[in-house]
A and B are shown apart, each in its own frame.
With several copies, the nearest count.
Chain A
Amino acid sequence: MKKTIIVAGAAGEGINTVERFIERILKKVGYEIFSYKNYMSRVRGGYNYSTIVISDKPILSIEDQADYFVALNQVAYANARLQLKEDGICLVEGDPSEEKENLIFDRSLLKEVSKSKNAFSMAAVGALLRVFGCEQEVLNDLNNSKWTDEVNASNMQAAVFGFEKTQPLFAPPENLKTRILMGGNQAVALGALSAGLSFYSAYPMAPSTGIMTYLASVEKEMHIIVEQAEDEIAGIMAAVGASSNGVRAMTGTSGGGFALKVETIGFAAVSETPIVIANVQRPGPATGLPTRTEQADLAFVATASQGEFSRIILAPLTVEDAFYTTFRAFNLADEYQVPVVILTDQLLADTTQSIPKFKTDDLKIERHLNTEITPDYKRYAFDQISGNRKYPGIDAETLIMTDSHVHDEYGAVTEEVEATLALKRKFLKRIEAIKKTLKKPLFYGDQAYETLFITWGSTYGALKDAVDELILKGEKVALLAFSDVFPLDKEVMDPYVSQAKCIINVEGNAMNQFGMILRMETGVMFDASINKYDGRPFSSAYIINEFEVINHGKH
């Protein structure tokens, strides 16, 4: 069972509230949830919608078309048919006199029942909860502590009205009641916190702001400092400054803000100061589409900043993975004393998903420090590929110089040929060491695959759902999903290429950035590609369709 609800209306009309109530309660009664916000770059008005997929099995992507469509205004109602499946149902407020389809909530009746200005949306919530088999008592959860009792009471009346208007069609599965609802930005923030993040400084920028907002909301509880910087340059430089004094520090932004951090990334690299940077991608170039999604910053991030040095790019595959990958990012940054970029996107940021509780028992913070008093300590020893780090104050004696030039092993500026070569060779060796440490790609699908899909980051979700469906249809397909996208090990593709009759690269951009890097690093060419670059996320249906076009082309 898998059903999709779309809640549509204008910014400020309460889409998020409806979404949150539905998600929270249906998760609580045992459903799996996967939802995504599709919204415009504005504060009020416009046309926004949230897509909520509800199932008894884990889901990793949204569907473009809904079974239930809640139309919060007339524009939404006009769109309903385009976004509904053929047998889908539209929930809408109306006058009995008007010709409306499907489930109409009589405006005057509603007014009688509830004084809430959100009467219709609350009624829709009630109606849907019953459809999914909830007992009436769950409506007690439709409380928002930020609202007055009066508002909560009239909301409840409307919900009851809606509840009574429908019949249960589905029964909640009996499994996963200890799951948590999690968004991608929040998962990154929690991953960082579990890794011991102490300092986060950033400048607001959609769709990354949620990381900072969540961290700020727990600033006191977690004894951390969250600082809104004056600009993105300050955001990263302050984080590097904090890290140079020993705490785990992070910054986050989207592509335009990342652009401003580029010089400091090189500083972190040459000064060997660990730093974690989240780039939550949105479509560019420049201001682009501030609230939409794309995976088009990979090539940029992989080579950003002058000169040559070692860095790591991690692109979480799912909301859950965003937590564990961010945790890993900090250990890797400390181990190799390099910048680590967490490359997510608006899709992941604005996805909410039911997932298992994070297990923190198995996680281990590894700082790779040298806390002993070490005579003649060399902060930048040329043979030190990982670990052995000291920062000011770590012991009572050692003086630390953090420097941005080519320097000697102590950090003193030098222009000598030997030091220049030694520094560069150290970075090259470090890259090789990192390649061996990073996680191998995730393989999923038919072991006897003929077609191998390649993907990275959040596109994994829709692709995995597509692979499941294709296998059901009898196709011999599998996927290879990279979370650790850079640097790539030369041999990473070796176990997979010989078997594949056709390699299809799937990514959310037009230029196949990952596919090209893979080709550059491993020589493996893809035979075809499936791309999306309209600012909207992949759905499994889209991938299946494109796959069929490719296959058709071949026959």
Chain B
Amino acid sequence: MVNINTTFEGEKNKSDNPFVTNNPTSWCPGCGNFSILDSINQTLHELDYKPQDVLMVSGIGQAAKLPHYIRAHGLNTLHGRAIPAAMGAQAANDTFKLFITSGDGDTYGEGGNHFMHNIRRNLDLVHIVHDNQVYGLTKGQGSPTTAMGQKTRLQFDGMRHDPLNPVALAISLGCGFVARSFSGDPKHLKEMIKAAMAYKGYALIDVMQPCVTFNHVNTFKWYKDRAFYIPETHDPTDKVRAFELAQTFGDAGIPMGILYREEKSTFMQRIPHIDRPLIAYPRKPSDIDGLIDQMV
């Protein structure tokens, strides 16, 4: 693979980036989360967003702490519940650029049902899953994406479940933007974030993110040795081909880039009777008088 940048490449223009904070993080030194944060910061800055334009939603986990480390609006909810919170937030006011940044356990485990059904709603947001194939914050249990047989701090004899294939799952659910990237390749990651931001609808980026503390199998090197850029010949609008490509993972190589793309109407576009942000409708008690009069 090419272009592995340091996880801190963004540091150079930190000073004039309004998204960057000096808040100490509680992440481990060397963790892949730093580079994801930097990539988000930089992309937003390069695209001239202002902190006031952006709402970062998360659940609970190491990844989910991200909203505390960026200057933007934040909504740090409960473990597994970022997505429905984002749904409500978007319904209330769809003028923010909406991000979800959360872990693989948060998104595909505890939050699995919301993941499934909000893809069906086609919320308009960028969902960045920090997929370290482990539960980081709770100290090393297997996550839905941990490989069968892989030993963990809880599964002493190895995982007994088939791993979830998040990109194949998202494609099968009709997610209109399904991509994979790598925290160790911030250039690619930024590209993906930009493409996801440009997409109108549910844009999923499953990001391979080494957990240096608890996942000694899926390391930086493990990802680097296996990842490859999806060839240009791939037609991301072909759902069946995308599904086929999504089957490739692990030793067979890990395709990075946009696996699937499909344009479709978004959550808010499907509610045509709302023609402005919901928050902008003026409301008063007598609004119901018409309804009452019909009842006499």
Contacts and interface: CB of A to CB of B under 8 A. Distances in A.
Interface string B52-78: 100101001010010110011111111
Interface string B255-280: 00000000000000001011000110
A219 interface: yes
Determine the interface band of chain B, counting residues with CB < 8 A from chain A. Answer: 35 or more
Nearest to A192: B288
Contacts, number: 262
Interface stretch (B8-16, B21-29, B186-194): B21-29
A106 to B, nearest CB: 27
A399 B54 CA distance: 10
Contacts of B141: 204, 209, 228
Given A205-B138, A209-B139, A392-B73, A246 B78 contact: no
Contact of B85 (A181, A204, A238, A405): A238
Contacts of B68: 401, 403, 412-413
A287 B283 CA distance: 34
B85 A357 contact: no
A219 B292 contact: no
Interface in A116-147: none
Given A204-B138, A220-B157, A198 B287 contact: no
Given A219-B156, A242-B89, A393-B96, A365 B74 contact: no
A404 B60 contact: yes
Interface string B197-241: 000000000000000011000000000000000000000000000
A189 to B, nearest CB: 10
A247 B285 contact: no
A22 to B, nearest CB: 17
Contact of B110 (A198, A203, A245, A404): A203
Contacts of B45: none
Contact of A244 (B29, B85, B110, B296): B85
Interface in A364-412: 364-365, 392-393, 396-397, 399-405, 411-412
B285 A237 contact: no
* A-B pairs with lowest CB-CB distance, top 4: A241-B88, A196-B283, A242-B88, A238-B88
Interface of B: 23, 26-29, 51-52, 55, 57, 60, 62, 65, 67-68, 71-81, 83-89, 91-93, 95-96, 109-110, 112-114, 116-118, 135-139, 141-142, 144, 153-157, 213-214, 271, 273-274, 278-279, 281, 283-292, 295-296
18 contacts: A44-B26, A46-B26, A193-B291, A199-B92, A201-B91, A217-B156, A219-B273, A222-B287, A227-B91, A238-B87, A242-B88, A244-B85, A244-B88, A365-B283, A397-B52, A399-B51, A401-B73, A413-B68
